[in-house]
Chain A
Amino acid sequence: GQNIDQPTEMTATEGAIVQINCTYQTSGFNGLFWYQQHAGEAPTFLSYNVLDGLEEKGRFSSFLSRSKGYSYLLLKELQMKDSASYLCAFMDSNYQLIWGAGTKLIIKP
């Protein structure tokens, strides 16, 4: 079967670093996406990983290990505007996205 899991909620301090983990199980894999969704708004694309390793994009980085079925999103120098839900999703063998329930990130001053 297929499943994907990420923590429901995390709290971090402004200026700090936070890592949001995502684990998945699937027989067919065509990449993993991370999206950010502010309350009441549309999800916006953050990153895509299809090969193992770390992809860095400014304050945000995403890591993938296909053998472990594991990804994380790393946010550095946290700002209050980073308070949002972070959604991970993998693309299965039918090129369909399977989504996690999202991690609500709360940033405290």
Chain B
Amino acid sequence: AQSVTQLDSQVPVFEEAPVELRCNYSSSVSVYLFWYVQYPNQGLQLLLKYLSGSTLVKGINGFEAEFNKSQTSFHLRKPSVHISDTAEYFCAVRSPSGYSTLTFGKGTMLLVSP
């Protein structure tokens, strides 16, 4: 079974500062990794995903994440955040099997202030 740990429940940051949201996973097999974002009063939408290939993955809105197999991590980064990035961010994992489902972390609330 897989599990996901998001180490920070809340990350406050000032506008235009860099940010990193941390995600660690546990799995005995290879994994697919995802970051989803939930803006206030909305459903989740995909930010980026790692399935295979390059370990540095670029997503929408200037976000990127790096898959580190030895550290079992998939941290999300943005070099300069905007007020509009205020949202909850979820890391998720699943096995490559076509019949597996996503396991989500508990989420990290990113609070961007002016």
The answer to whether A and B assemble together is: no
Chain A residues within CB distance 8 Å of chain B: none
